[in-house]
Structure 1
Amino acid sequence: MIVLLPPSETKRAGGDGPPLQLDALTAPELTGLRAELVAELVGLAADPEASRAALGLSAAQDGEIERNAALYTAPTAPAIHRYTGVLYEALDVDSLRGASAARAGARLAVGSALFGLLRATDPVPAYRLSATSKLPGRPGLARRWRPVLEPVLAEIAESELVVDLRSGSYAALAPIPGSVSVDVVAEHADGRRVSVSHFNKAHKGRLARVLASTRAEPGDAAAVAAIARRAGMRVERDDRRLTIVVDA
């Protein structure tokens, strides 16, 4: 089983790994586009105004542009430790020990606008690029990623169940045939349900932790739902789509 996480806008600074080596990352088929995007971001960083427009930044966030300028030389850290935010706080991978930590390292992956697909241990620098970013004079990222990323994800899905926790814009980079998708809804006392926005990430992070560390090897959506229920989550299933239901 692979649990595919969305990235986060926020990234931890620093790291103790060597500078970026694209050929050391998972899925060498993606190296060409990764190299193009890294070069484009480094070049764009020389023009702060253009960078702000392309990346949706304010002048107060120019530190993000400096990160992009240093992509070739900055230290790296494992992907699962690079990303921060609500989902990653709920996942709390650093607290896993022994066999649970080993399973998480093997099962967790991240969908990235810059790197396409990262396994938990892939070493990457801090960067700024979102799935919705508009790089000057270039097609949208979904148009660029889909032809190369979709076959990679499809090959993985042939041999392993993929639980896709990516948000819509990242899922649009490449669909995954046969994957299990997950929604989160809040249920009011009168039965009304509304989509959960901010805390959607926290509930997905908790599910990711359960799935990453379980001894079970689920083969389908029903088995994933059963694991989540044993962990105390209220989960409904409609074919390959799971819905986590929480109190409003």
Structure 2
Amino acid sequence: MLILLPPSEGKTPAAKGPSIDWEALSFPDLNTSRARVLEALGTVSAHEDALALLGVGASLRDDVERNTRLHSEPAAPAHQVYSGVLYDALGYNSLTPTQRRKAAESILVISALWGAIGFGDHVPAYRLSMGTALPDVGRLASYWKPQLAAALAKRSEGELLVDCRSSTYAAAWTPPADQTVTVNVFTETKGKRTVVSHFAKHTRGELARHLLTRRGKAPATPAQLLKAASEVWTSELVEGTARKTHALNIILAG
């Protein structure tokens, strides 16, 4: 089983420590592509119109300025750098050592800057969204799509892929539909079902935690994933097609 997560928009910078060790990152074949994005990001972030070019507000000026020195910024494990609703719900710090090893083995974060990294990979905090277009790189989802298809093909072979990404990050890699389950979250009140947006991050984080902490073997099929999710939530599985992934729908009370 592989759990696909988006990064958080907000990041927690490491207070101290060594800078990034490129060769220690998962999928080192992506390093040339990562370096190209990093250089373009540094150039844009040093521009007088950097905030507008990156589509962020004035409150994030310090984050954007940090983008200009990522080569020398302290790096920390991805599970520490990424913060926010989903990662709070996953609660890495309260996992047991065994559960943390399981997280390191089974979680991949799809990133605008790094392409794809493991949960324990050490990276600096940065500010960049997959929806951004950078000079000489273009729209990042389009840039990463062919490269991630090649880099992740072997790692994902034979695995059940639990896709907890937002649509922005899902655009960067389209895994094989027959082995992928997209996680959707709805509320239901008096029989009326409504798509959950922001709070879906929390539920997806809770699902990731449940899959890491529950006893027994990890789900290996969509049906087994449904069974695992149904231990906690009202859930249903929508079967996929040759081109469309399966969907796990988690139904929350309204």
SS at match of 2:230: helix
Q: In the alignment, what sits opposite 1:169?
A: 168
- Equivalent position of 1:218 in the other structure: 219
Q: Deviations 1:84-140 (Å, cap 9, x if unpaired)?
A: 111111111110113222212221221101001110110000001101112135421
3-state SS, counterpart of residue 18 of structure 1: coil
TM-score between both structures, scaled by the size of structure 1: 0.94
Is contact 1:54-1:136 (8 Å) kept?
A: no
- Does residue 244 of structure 2 align to residue 243 of structure 1? no
- Unaligned segments of structure 1, at least 5 residues: none
Deviations 1:27-72 (A, max 9, x none): 12211110101111122222141x2122111223211112201200
Q: 1:48 to 1:94 in 2, by over 3 A?
A: farther
Q: Which position in structure 2 is the counterpart of 1:34?
A: 34
RMSD in angstroms over aligned alpha carbons?
A: 1.4
Separation of aligned partners in 2, 1:225 and 1:18: 42
Contact 1:104–1:213 (CA under 8 A) maintained in structure 2: no
Counterpart of 2:14 in structure 1 is 14
1:48–1:216 distance in 2 versus 1, CA, 3 Å = farther
Q: For 1:8 and 1:16, how far apart are their aligned partners in 2?
A: 21
Q: How do 1:102-181 residues align onto structure 2 when only pairs under 5 Å count?
A: 102-177=101-176, 178-181=179-182
Q: What displacement does 1:15 show?
A: 4.5
* In 2: Cα distance, 1:105 partner to 1:237 partner: 27
Q: CA deviation at 1:82?
A: 0.8
Identity among equivalent positions (%) equals 39
- The AA in structure 2 aligned to 1:21 is D
TM-score normalised by structure 2 residue count: 0.92
Give me the whole-angstrom Cα distance separating, in 2, the residues matched to 1:122 and 1:173. 20
Residues 76 and 124 in structure 2, CA contact (< 8 A), matched pair in contact too: yes
Letter in 2 for 1:143: S
Which residue is equivalent to 1:3? 3
Matched to 1:85, the amino acid is G
1:67-82 pair list within 5 angstroms: 67-82=66-81
Give the 4+ runs in structure 1 shifted more than 4 A. Answer: none
Instruction: Measure how far apart 1:157 and its partner are.
Output: 2.2
Q: Which residue of 2 aligns with 1:58?
A: 57
Shift of 1:16: 4.3
Q: Which moved more, 1:95-104 or 1:168-177?
A: 95-104
Cα deviation, residue 199, structure 1: 0.5
* Other-structure match for 1:185: 186
Instruction: Identify unmatched segments of 5+ residues in structure 2.
Output: 240-245
Work out the CA distance in 2 between the residues paired with 1:10 and 1:167.
Answer: 15
Aligned length: 245
Residues 40 and 24 from structure 1, CA distance in 2 versus in 1: closer, same or farther, beyond 3 angstroms? same
